[in-house]
Chain A
Amino acid sequence: MNHDFHDRVAVVTGGAMGIGEATARKFAANGATVAIFDINDKIGNTTASDIAASGAKCAYFHCDVSSSSSVEKAVADAVGKFGAIDMLVSCAGIQDYGDAISTTEEAWDHLMDVNLKGCYLAAKYAVPHILKRGQGAIVIVGSVQSMTAIANSVAYVTAKHGLLGLTRAMALDYASKGIRVNCVCPGAIDTPMLRWAANLDKNPEKVIETCNRMHAMGRIGKPEEVADAIVYLASSAASFITGAALLVDGGMLVPAGGMGFQEGGTGAATR
């Protein structure tokens, strides 16, 4: 165990699968109580009971982060069950492809509502509880696309850039109030969402190969590697870090022009 989260409660949105699931597991392994928020009740419940079976306190709460009433209820339910919130990790997100012409207004709104507004809503309802504890941390899962663009992904790139802005704005607002707010910016990570995107292509394995080459290290990342960064930023070891964007991208953004970024790593080229 690297960090001591004893008596600390973490809310993880999008906690059923992928980076959120890995984060929930890591928090629990370090002694935290974990509230998993997700819209996938079946997988969310399975993940939560699996974590609880290891002896940690963990429960699933249905939460559509794009809905104010749903977030409000999930936060109230989590506080009702666990008594407090100390940490919020905003992981819930969806991917979609399209340029400004091909992206429908409905698709734009839906992605913005989940990826960007969802983080605002989660903070809106969780922060008052964190303030009550006197100190806490928010970690938002951005993307390399919080800092750069990929072709044919206007809504996703825009939302992820927005998340870095939201991170910085909230970091300033709560810096003197004991809440640190940081953003983790992963490269391509081997999650169900990446596999979904790869499967949009006729040859998914070739897409994953291309994704590997997009990183200076020559491979995509693991959810656990991003979870390590999230848990570190949420811990007291990061007590002087706020407003930061922590890239966990295998060096993807290091080279000018990217490592074959223009090849179109995921289903981008085919949609």
Chain B
Amino acid sequence: MRLEQKVAIITGAGAGIGRATALLFAREGASIVAVDVNGQSLDELSKSLAAYPGAFMTAVADVSKRDEVEGVIVAAIERFGKIDILFNNAGIVPRGTVDQTSEDEWDRAMDINVKSTYLFSHGVIPIFRKLGGGVILNTASATALRAVPDRACYTASKGAVIALSRSMALDHARENIRVNCLCPGTVDTPSLAQRLSSFPNPDEARANFIARQPMGRFGTAEEVAEAALYLVSAEAAFVTGIAFAIDGGLSL
């Protein structure tokens, strides 16, 4: 097992990439602090996590709210006494061009996709420092490497995640804290299904999305989780500050 004795906070753990990562990290021996705004999704996750010998806890929280984030960190320390891995994965995917994006939509996406990463990192880095190190992993997007249409606000938020990750990687490199980003392409998750169903013709939209994939298929949440595992594990000890594309060649 590659994450024995490790404690991992995973946000957006209720579905998709977060859920697959929580299950994979648990299988690799980590204790899991699963965070999501959707309590029901955490109940579902708990049933699956119970199959693994490792400990876990769940926390319903809005990751864009400072007091709720602090509450999660305090609860995690109370329960496990330490944190080794922070996976800032919670995010939303607003659709639209800049002129179609309302100020409220913009603010909400930046709060959930970017400020959440600041809030959790702000709270956890002092703990990492005290413990002698740690790993932060953030979910950005392949759209921050190469643009796709109708995702202006989303792409901007994910670009910010990459830039924030690099800054933190540099600032804390000598403190044994590594910070990296995942840049997933189009991944078959509940979030994608929801987006596709918002098209007038979801089947046609699905076919169009697949047509732009060099590998001819979507990625799976489990494939992204494997990349997360690599980046948080000791095998990536010399890897920090990277934006890693797991996108089936989409950003080529």
Contacts and interface: CB of A to CB of B under 8 A. Distances in A.
A242 B227 contact: no
Contacts of A222: 238
Chain A interface SS verdict (over half): loop
Contacts of B244: 244, 246
A215 B214 CA distance: 34
B125 to A, nearest CB: 16
A239 B240 contact: no
Contacts of B251: 243
A175 interface: yes
A80 interface: no
A247 B174 contact: no
Contacts of B237: 225
A225 B251 CA distance: 26
A240 to B, nearest CB: 4
A172 B249 CA distance: 7
A221 interface: yes
A251 B240 contact: yes
Given A2-B2, A176-B215, A243-B252, A237 B226 contact: yes
B170 A254 contact: yes
B248 A242 contact: yes
Contacts of B245: 241, 243-244
Interface string A219-236: 001100110110010000
A58 interface: no
B164 interface: no
B170 A216 contact: yes
B139 to A, nearest CB: 15
A175 B252 CA distance: 11
Interface in B43-87: none
Interface string A190-226: 0000000000000000000000000111100110011
Interface in B171-198: 173-174, 185
B236 A229 contact: yes
Given A246-B244, A254-B240, A228 B169 contact: no
A254 B166 contact: yes
Given A216-B240, A243-B249, A251 B170 contact: yes
Interface residues of A, number: 35
Nearest to B171: A216
B239 interface: yes
A239 B223 contact: yes
B238 A249 contact: yes
A254 B230 CA distance: 20
A168 interface: yes
Contact of A217 (B166, B174, B220, B224): B174
A165 to B, nearest CB: 11
B77 to A, nearest CB: 26
Contacts of B18: none
Nearest to B24: A237
Nearest to B239: A248
Contacts of B214: 171-172, 175-176, 242-243
A239 B218 CA distance: 11
A34 B213 CA distance: 32
A175 B249 contact: yes
Contacts of B174: 216-218
Interface of B: 2, 166, 169-170, 173-174, 185, 214-216, 219-220, 223-224, 226-227, 229-230, 235-242, 244-249, 251-252
Given A172-B249, A176-B215, A246-B242, 4 more contacts: A172-B214, A217-B174, A244-B244, A254-B169
Interface of A: 2, 168, 171-172, 175-176, 187, 215-218, 221-222, 225-226, 228-229, 232, 237-244, 246-251, 253-255
11 contacts: A2-B235, A176-B214, A218-B174, A232-B230, A240-B224, A240-B246, A241-B248, A243-B214, A249-B238, A251-B170, A255-B170
